[in-house]
Every structure is written in C-alpha cells, then in structure tokens.
Chain A
Amino acid sequence: MTTTHCPYCALQCAMHLETGPDGRPAARPAPFPTNRGGLCRKGWTSAEVLGVPDRLTRPLLRKDRTGEFTEVDWDTALDHVAERLLALRAEHGPDAVAVFGSGGLTNEKSYTLGKFARLALGTSQIDYNGRFCMSSAAAAGNRAFGLDRGMPFPLTDVGAAEVVLLAGANPAETMPPMMGHLSAPRLIVIDPRRSATARVALDNGGLHLAPRPGTDLALALGLLHLAGVRGWIDRAYLDERTTGFDDAWAHAAAWWPERTEQVTGVPAAHLREAADVLGAAARARSAYILTGRGSEQHAKGTDTVTAWINLALALGLPGREGSGYGCITGQGNGQGGREHGQKADQLPGYRRIDDPAARADVAAVWGVDPDTLPGPGRSAFELLDSLGEGGGARALLLFGSNPVVSAPDSGRVRSRLESLDLLVTADFVLSETAALGDVVLPVAQWAEESGTMTNLEGRVLRRNRAFAPPEGVRTDLEVLAGLAVRLGQPADRFPTEPDTVLAELGRATVGSPADYSGVTPERLAAGEALYWPVRRGAEPTPRLFLDSFAHPGGRARLVPVTHRPPAESADEAFPLIATTGRLMGHYQSGAQTRRVPELAGAEPEVYVEVHPDTAAHAGLGEGDLALVTSRRGATRARVRLEPTARRDTVFLPFHYAGEQAANNLTNPALDPVSRMPEFKVSTVRLEPAPPEPVPLEPAP
C-alpha cells in the first residue's frame, strides 16, 4: 500500500493506493487535514485511470498530418522532434518554438519545463493552462498583498469561522471534501446559479445571491458600500495596515444598494442582509472571503477579485488569525505551477523574468550567463492564438494540457494548432489535442512517478509512486532530458530524478517570495506541514501576513476599481448569457474522467441548464437536444430544465469535446492585467438542434 495524494484538484486529498481484490489498482481515502478522510467520486475512481484501455505505451509519429499515426521507438520519436525543432529554430529563430504547460504538473516538472524552454530552446514562448485558472486571483493578490499564495492560511482555519463568503466558488461540486470545513460557518454564496454549494448555504441558514453573470464586480462594490454605510468598516485596521481606502471607497460610493440591484439583479434587501451578516462576523474577527473561478474568469477578473479583496481589507480580515481572504486554487498544482517558471513572465520562486536580480540568481544556479535568458513571452491564449501566424511559433510542445477542449474559442484554437509545422504532445492517452498533432509521447501518470505538489493552502506535499509505469512509458522529466541532450544541452543539466530536481529548485528559489529551499524529501516524508515560504532549516509559514504584508512598508493596498460591463452584451441576435463550469464527476477537459466508466456513465454528455420559461420560448423541453450558438461557434447540448435558474442565463459544463465542447462558445476577450479569458460570459442564442452535425467553427 502506498499513501499519496489524488491526481485531480488542488485540495490534493490523501489516499491509499493498492492492488485491489480484482488485481487492479484501487484508491481509498486516507486521513489528511484538507480531506478529513473523505474523497469524492473522482478520487475514489482515480486508480481506474491507470488502467484505461487506450493507454499509450509507444510513441506515435506521423510525418503527414493526413495520414495515420504509427508506433515508433523513443529514439526515432525524440530524434525526429529534435531535428525538426533545430531546423525551425535555425530558419525562424528561437521563438519559433513554443511550450505549453499545466497546473497539473508537479513542481519538479513545472520548474524543469521552464528551464528547458529558456535554456534548451532559448524561447520566450512558454505559458500554461493555469493562465485560464488562477491568473486573475494571482494578479489581484500580488497587487493587494505583495504576494500571492492562494490561501495564506491553513484550510482548517476556515472551519472555525462564523461566516464564509464564497464568491464564484462551488466547492460542493468541484472539491466536495472541502465542504467538510464549511459545515459550521454560515455561508454567503455568490453564484448566478443555484449551485450545489448555494443549496447547502440555503439549507443551513445561509444566503445565496445570484447576480447576472459578469456583474460580480458591481456586487462586491455594492457590499463595500453597504459595509461603509452600516458601520462595519474597521478604521483602525485600515489606518494601521493598509493604504488606499479613500480612493477605493470613492468608487464604491457610487454603488448604493438600489443601483447595485439594478445592475446585478440581486435584490437590495439581500445585499443589506449579506453585508450585515458578513459585517457582524468580521467585527468578531471571524469571517473569510474566498473567491473562485466565477469571479476570476472574466475580462475584468483581476479587478473583480480586487473588489473582493478591498471588501476584505475594509472589514479588517486579512493578516489576522481567524479571518482572511483567499482564493480557492483549482488545478492539482495550480499553486506550485504558478511559482516556478512555466509562466511567460516568470522565473522560479515567483520572480519576474524582467527583474535583473532574479535573472542573475537563477542564471547562476543554472550555470549560464543571465543575458542568454529570454525575456517575457506571450500569455496562454495569445500564445495559442498566434501559432502558425506571422510572428507566432511554428512548433508547440504540449505537456499535461488539452487546450482544444479547455481553451476559450475552441474553433480558433483548433485552427491555430492545425496550422503548426510541428505539434508534439506528451500525454498518457491520445487526447483531442494530441490527435491533431505529429508526435505523441506516452508519459507516466501521477501514481507511476513521484514529485511534489503545492496544494490550495500553499502546503508542499509529496506524491509517492505506487505502481511502475507500463513498459515503454517515460516520465515527463525523462522526455525533457532526452530532448535537451538532443538539442545540445549537457545531460547533467536536466536531471530525471524528482528529488534531484527538487534540490535544485530549492537552490533556485533561495530568498525568493516562494522560497522552497527548506523543502526536503525527509521533511516531506516525515509529514511536516510545509507551507511556503520554507527557508532552509527554518520553520514553514502556515499563516502569512500576520505581522506585515509583503509590499515594501508592510501595508496592504486597496486598489480603486470600478465596474464595467462584460465584453459582450446580450442583443437580439444573441439574447442569452452562457456561463460555463464544472461537474463533480469530471475534471478539466475530461481526458481522464471521461475514461472512467462510472464517471462517464453518470454524466455521459454535455447538457445545457435552462430556466423552463426560457426553454419554452426556444421551443425546447427537458431532454431535447439544443443548439447553443455564440459569435464564435456552436455546441449541441441536452436540455435540463432548472426552475431556479436565471431566465437570462444558461449554463454548460466544459468537460466535453468536439460538438459538445462548451468552449466552442466562449469569448477570448482578455483581462488587461492577468490575460485571463472571459470564460464566464458569452452571449448566445438557443434553438432546437438540427439533426446534422454542428460545424465546429462559424461559417466564414
């Protein structure tokens, strides 16, 4: 039996893995503070992914995109990739090769991927799918506190609070064991939908505010307004620990309850009640505000999160024991993945690639001249959007991601990927994106290799190898090392042992904001709760900001923000708003969970959740097939009537591919700061689906 952590979300529930009575790998829950001995259905069935029938065990190669893949040996595959990369680089320069990573990769892989891009490829063009998850909250957190650790406190702290406000978060669906921490606090849930979490709130005396999608920022400003008017603001704290309240207030002053009601659709009486419930708990220093993707995945996601942080600061929550602000990181290593250099503008240790001191430090660890390190590259959607076009990359190496399903405007992303000269994917199955490419490298899964993950609390965890990978499969680290050598790098620069990489990562982050230099295999194995920063030989940091915030001077900053409408507004042609989200039984692009029969059987196909009135007007009833169309594309989805839905909003889960992909609809309008796409608001029309297949891209 091996004790490790779940392959899926950032809660990183602990689990025991062993061979079951049927001879196949099986998982069961293990005690751990975040999951308290629980697992959701994804965790329980996770071991089934290890044995999926279409598991790849030999590299796939095709030299002609119209032809079929053939199985080849590793040398043939890696030689081919290296040769093509060198040729493209020689012809078009180093930025002709791009790398796309993932918030699912271990810290060691994230780190090595960034190093590989900067040294072996010399490219600035690297980013990752975490851009689609955490970037807005990260940008807002850095702006406010000078540091972004999703939850700057242990999750267990939240369970002791009187009130927890969840803004655009639905943990009852997306990370169910977290709800064990939310059973005692009174919940205020902000979500356009009567989500599973909203139902829990209402069933237990909490509140559910259902704003029109894209108006969360106005809602947060309206609550700050009410906090001010009703006397809940902590003046002494603001004076002592923050700057910028007066400017932030001046913007919130324009959001009196009746106006906020008009824009958000949330009744003024509910706003007043929410402000008082939250304010009273804040006065008792026993309240948390937590944000999720619902607040963040907008073209104004950074400002929306900032508005929630401003509210938290005005109430005196952050940097005190028993209260605070946090964002609920989504992907398994969404936290560690945004710290160690697979982001376009970043070097390991959560440092900027345009910071000369950081460049010098990291270059010294890597044994190179700092001037050889490339500068910042394009953000995730911009990188994908530019592929194959003038100035964009000609080749893409893809690790742990399936962007043709998970990126916005799937039709556009698909056409860009198809225009590449070379698409190389490392994956354990032939994902929808891998299937478009030239080379597919079969890699190990989570339980077949070890490494570290940083969970939603900023705690570094060890994932342990439980089973040997199938014969013929390599780890991502081995793939990168194999390619690096072929690209002319010294072999010892790209170690394949995770612990060796961890030690180097520690050296590369000494003195940085996300200092991992004290994270060692021994401390991890001993079960020490290593919340970063963990300096060498020093205690970990379960709670940040208790004495001061990370900005020079130690104060948190309220940044004035103002509401603006979504990039698209409903009109006659596209009168409804589509918003997207997750289901309990699936994870991200579904590449794993759609292959687990129990999960796929429960939610086998995409659906569109519609208010019965809205459906009736479109001539649709329960179970009918609907065509949902936006300016970008269309999705064919089964109608589910939901009387608690807003009449102006439909919802689609995004775990499905092809004509079922919700991201055929979504809008790649980007946040000016975080470059987060506007996944949560696209305007659509709804009609009965025609019998013929749906074109994946809009007609020219």
Chain B
Amino acid sequence: MNTVQGARRIVVVGNGMVGARFAEEVARLDPAGERVHVTVVGAEHHPAYNRVLLSGLVAGDYTADQIRLPVPDTPGVTVRTGLSAVSLDAAAHTVTLDDGTRLDYDELVLATGARAAFPPVTGVSAADGAPGEGVCALRDLDDCHRLLALVRPGAPVVVLGGGVLGLEAARGLQSRGARVSVVESSPWIMRRQIDRAAADILRGRYDALGVKVHSWRVASRWIPGTGLELDDGRVLPGDALVVTAGVRGNIELAKDAGIEVEHGILVDDTLATSDARVHAIGDCAQHPGGGAGLVQPGWEQAAVLARRLTGTEPQACYTGSRPVTRLKAEGIELTAFGEVHTDEKDGEDLEMLTVSDPHGGRYAKLVVRDEKLVGSVLLGFPEAAAVLSQLHDSGAPVPADRLALLQGTVPAPAAEEAGARSAPVVCRCNAVTRDDLEQAWLDGARTRESIAAATRATTGCGGCVRDVNALLSGWDTKSPVS
C-alpha cells in the first residue's frame, strides 16, 4: 500500500453500490491520494457491482460482467474483497476483520447495506437461518446465480413479496419462460409506493402477462418440490421460491459497538452516527429524511460524505432526497414518487387529479399542494414520468392545464404555431413565405427554377422543393387567390 504521509485513513465497511460509490467519489476529489487514504472492505468475493440491475440479470438483459462498477485506480484507494468486519472498537478507532487483521481508522464509513428479511414461514429458512431448499433471496450476485440454476423454462416459480424487487424479478423470470405467481401480504402490491387503484391496474398488467398476483395473502408453508401453501389452503406450484419480502439493515457492527441504532444506524445531516468519527450511508443508515431502499439517496449520501471527509467541502450536508421509484420491468412503465396515499379528505389544501383506464392498463395520479406537485403515480405514461419527476424535484409551480402534463414534453403538435406570428414560411433558409411565392407566381414565375430565381426559395437546404412543387402544380390548375 502506497499511503501518502499525512493523509487521513478512512475505512469503508461494505463494497456494495454505496461503498464503492464513496470510493469513486473520493478518487475523483482526491486523485493523487494526498488528502485521504481509503480502504474498502467487502464481504463478497466479487468486485463491486450494480445491485440495482440484478433483476435485469434475472431477465437475461445483462451478464454479470456488464454490471460491474468502476474500481477506482488511484493511489488513495485500496479495495479488499472477501473480507468481513466482525467487530468495531469505536474508542480505539479500529475495525477487526474476519481474517483476524485489524484496521485503524481516522474516519469510519459504514456502508454495510441490508439483507433480505425472511418471513417466519415454515420451510423458508432452515434452523441455522440459511435459506431452505429451493428458496433464495435476490440481494446479491450469488443469489442470482442460485436462482437461475433453479429456474427452467416452463417451471413454476413463486415470488414471495410484491414490492418493487419482487415485481421486477417476476417480470424477468416470466420473460425467461417461467410460470410465475406473486404473493403479497399487504392489501395491494407496491403498498409503499403506489395507491390501491394503481395497484389494481398494475395487477391486471401482470395478469395479462400470465403472472398471477395474490395480494393480501399470507404464506403458511413452503413445501420443497411442490410449492407455497397460502393461509387459505391453496398451494401455488413452485420449483423455486424467491423471497423479496423486505430487507433488514446490517446494523449489528454499529449496535455492538454502542452506536445508536433503531431499524438503521442513526445519522444526522452530516451523516455522522452517535460517534462523530463513525459515519453511515446507504441502506444501513437511518436519516430523518428517510430514503433507505433506493440507490439514489445512498449515492447522494456517498457524494456528500466524500466531499466532507476529503475536506473539499467540509460543510456539505445531506438533508434527505426525493427518491423516485421506477419499476424496471419490460413493457410496464411505472413511476411513483412523493405523497401518493393521501386522499382529498385528508386536507382541504390538497388537490388530486386521477386518470384511470383499466382497459388500457393505464393510471395516473397527481397530488398537488400549494400549486406544487407533491406526489404522483404514473402507470403507462412513459412520456410524462421524466417531466413530472423533475417538476417534483424543482418545486416549480404546476401549470394550469394539469392534464396536458400527462402528455409529456410534447403537447399537441405545435410545429406551425410559432409560424403563426407571420405568414407561413415555406423556405426557412431564405425566409420565403407562401405569400412571397404566390406573388412570384402572379409575377409570372411558373417553374421551380424561376420561383427560385425570384425568391431564393429551395436554394438553401433544398428541404422545401416538394412543398414548392406542390404549390406550383396547385396554382397551375387554378388561381392561387382563394
């Protein structure tokens, strides 16, 4: 290791998307490694990869090679894979690894992420907590490989948990030829992100693909080789069970070291924990602004913390983010953000617009407060999602015509509206209007060449030749004056 003298030592526990991004940000801010030296330790043997795209791997859209994350190649960053941190001594500023070695730090970054939460259903996990036979989560690359080994075309698969990941996995497995059912214990799928009306239509979309969704059903037993038994006694056939029923933050290292935790490791706007030298980012962190579970807030936290700890912007703060949920399922365009569960009766200042089109499989909901978009669900409005989420981000006022927003960036074809200021221009290159051409015709120009000589029309890019010819042939059969 080639440490610059005087550089502060930062240890990062976790080489997932957020830990790796932190290292990348540091490498960018401190390319020579003069300010800090970062050591990243990751439990997985693989180099860092893009966990968000695992469902794409299941669908066959990506190979494992394609989802690798960049590994910083600067003297200030060292990445060590296949190593776990087993204990933290916050007073001594040391982390002990599972190979018995210890790392001293000046600043510690916990990016330990989260793991799949296995519901207490018979057969889902073995006595030692490992997945039962035919059961697998979808948190890491090894899960992915295990799942793909279990799934053959035509084979039945049950997805337990109808959240974003479960629905993405279900779509991916279905496109691989599996017969998929989804079980969700909440009243509707994507309970946290979308409202019930949207979920009903979304369920219809899955149904049309051949994916059966069973909402508000609790699993009672996983029977390897047979399937999943539900609380109503039905058994859904399944060679494999994919558990996507939520996650649990990996907070034990911090908790055992006496750092304050709730469901995550508590951090403030500086991303410091109750120990000022220990920081937490990503899914293991619990910030008052929320945001765990999506990568965007974790990456924002990584960027803020990198600016703070490299000293390039010591006052940088993370004040929460406005995450957008975007389902990555081929053919299903679903975007959701902000407050979507509020009903009009909740407050008089709240205004809602909903468009429900069960037949077309489309649904839109805009929630507006004080002329600002505070939440939205969009199913089947691919053009509108980007405009609306940026409107939400910017806090800009919502235009009077709310419905027009759903049509996306392009309202009605307005190509000629700008031209309405003056007579319609036929030849843009030379600013020749229809009136100019008509005058030239009246003055005796009867061919494209003589029109060009008189007006310069068609002599620029040549794009208006067709239009000029059409006008000429029209006028040749009747007087242009209408």
Size of interface on B: residues with Cβ below 8 Å to A: 52
Min CB–CB distance A672 → chain B (angstroms): 11
Q: Please, how many angstroms separate the alpha-carbon atoms of A570 and B390 in the complex?
A: 12
**List of A residues within 8 angstroms of B24 by Cβ:** 562
CB under 8 Å from chain A, chain B span 455-481: 456, 459-463
CB under 8 Å from chain A, chain B span 378-418: 382-383, 385-387, 389-391, 394, 396-397, 399-401, 408-412, 414-415, 417-418
**The one of A176, A210, A256 that contacts B52, using a Cβ cutoff of 8 Å:** A256
Min CB–CB distance A687 → chain B (angstroms): 15
**List of B residues within 8 angstroms of A570 by Cβ:** 394
Decide: B394 and A251 in contact? CB cutoff 8 A: no
Min CB–CB distance B443 → chain A (angstroms): 17
Decide: B326 and A250 in contact? CB cutoff 8 A: no
**List of A residues within 8 angstroms of B400 by Cβ:** 613, 616
Contacts A172-B461, A647-B399; is A585 near B70 (CB within 8 Å)?
A: no
**The one of B385, B397, B408, B462 that contacts A183, using a Cβ cutoff of 8 Å:** B462
Decide: B324 and A262 in contact? CB cutoff 8 A: yes
Decide: B462 and A180 in contact? CB cutoff 8 A: yes
Question: B-side binding surface: helix, strand, loop or mixed?
Answer: loop
**The one of B397, B410, B430 that contacts A40, using a Cβ cutoff of 8 Å:** B430
**List of A residues within 8 angstroms of B385 by Cβ:** 261, 267
Taken residue by residue from 307 to 321, chain A's Cβ proximity to chain B (1 for < 8 Å, 0 otherwise) reads as 000000000000000
**List of B residues within 8 angstroms of A36 by Cβ:** 462
Q: Please, how many angstroms separate the alpha-carbon atoms of A81 and B414 in the complex?
A: 56
Q: Please, how many angstroms separate the alpha-carbon atoms of A575 and B429 in the complex?
A: 34
Q: Please, how many angstroms separate the alpha-carbon atoms of A148 and B333 in the complex?
A: 42
Contacts A642-B418, A644-B410, A647-B399; is A177 near B387 (CB within 8 Å)?
A: no
Min CB–CB distance B467 → chain A (angstroms): 11
Taken residue by residue from 244 to 262, chain A's Cβ proximity to chain B (1 for < 8 Å, 0 otherwise) reads as 0001011101101011011
Is residue A87 within 8 Å, beta carbon to beta carbon, of the partner chain? no
Is residue A560 within 8 Å, beta carbon to beta carbon, of the partner chain? yes
CB under 8 Å from chain A, chain B span 6-53: 24, 28, 50, 52-53
Min CB–CB distance B384 → chain A (angstroms): 8
Q: Which of B389, B412, B463 has the most CB of A within 10 A?
A: B463
Is residue A80 within 8 Å, beta carbon to beta carbon, of the partner chain? no
Contacts A39-B460, A177-B461; is A643 near B386 (CB within 8 Å)?
A: no
Size of interface on A: residues with Cβ below 8 Å to B: 58
**List of A residues within 8 angstroms of B296 by Cβ:** 259, 262
**List of B residues within 8 angstroms of A261 by Cβ:** 326, 385-386
**List of A residues within 8 angstroms of B456 by Cβ:** 39, 41, 44
Q: Which of A37, A250, A575, A648 has the most CB of B within 10 A?
A: A250
Is residue B179 within 8 Å, beta carbon to beta carbon, of the partner chain? no
The residue on A at minimum CB distance from B418 is A642
Is residue A265 within 8 Å, beta carbon to beta carbon, of the partner chain? yes
Contacts A256-B53, A560-B70, A613-B399; is A575 near B428 (CB within 8 Å)?
A: no
Decide: A41 and B430 in contact? CB cutoff 8 A: yes
Is residue B68 within 8 Å, beta carbon to beta carbon, of the partner chain? yes
Decide: A647 and B415 in contact? CB cutoff 8 A: no
**List of A residues within 8 angstroms of B386 by Cβ:** 261-262, 264-267
Decide: B429 and A40 in contact? CB cutoff 8 A: yes
**List of A residues within 8 angstroms of B141 by Cβ:** none
Min CB–CB distance B30 → chain A (angstroms): 15
CB under 8 Å from chain A, chain B span 315-332: 324, 326, 328
Is residue A212 within 8 Å, beta carbon to beta carbon, of the partner chain? yes
Min CB–CB distance B108 → chain A (angstroms): 25
Q: Please, how many angstroms separate the alpha-carbon atoms of A562 and B25 in the complex?
A: 11
Decide: B429 and A176 in contact? CB cutoff 8 A: yes
Is residue A392 within 8 Å, beta carbon to beta carbon, of the partner chain? no
**List of B residues within 8 angstroms of A408 by Cβ:** none
A–B complex contacts, Cβ < 8 Å, 15 sampled: A38-B460, A38-B461, A39-B429, A39-B456, A172-B428, A179-B462, A199-B415, A200-B463, A210-B409, A229-B66, A250-B71, A256-B50, A267-B382, A268-B333, A643-B417
- Taking beta carbons and an 8 Å cutoff, which residues of A are in contact with B? 29, 36-41, 44, 172, 176-180, 183, 194, 196, 199-200, 203, 210, 212, 228-229, 247, 249-251, 253-254, 256, 258-259, 261-262, 264-269, 560, 562, 570, 575, 584-585, 602, 613, 616-617, 640, 642-644, 646-648
Across the A-B interface, give the 8 residue pairs with the lowest CB-CB distance, nearest first. A179-B461, A613-B399, A250-B70, A258-B326, A176-B429, A176-B460, A265-B386, A269-B382
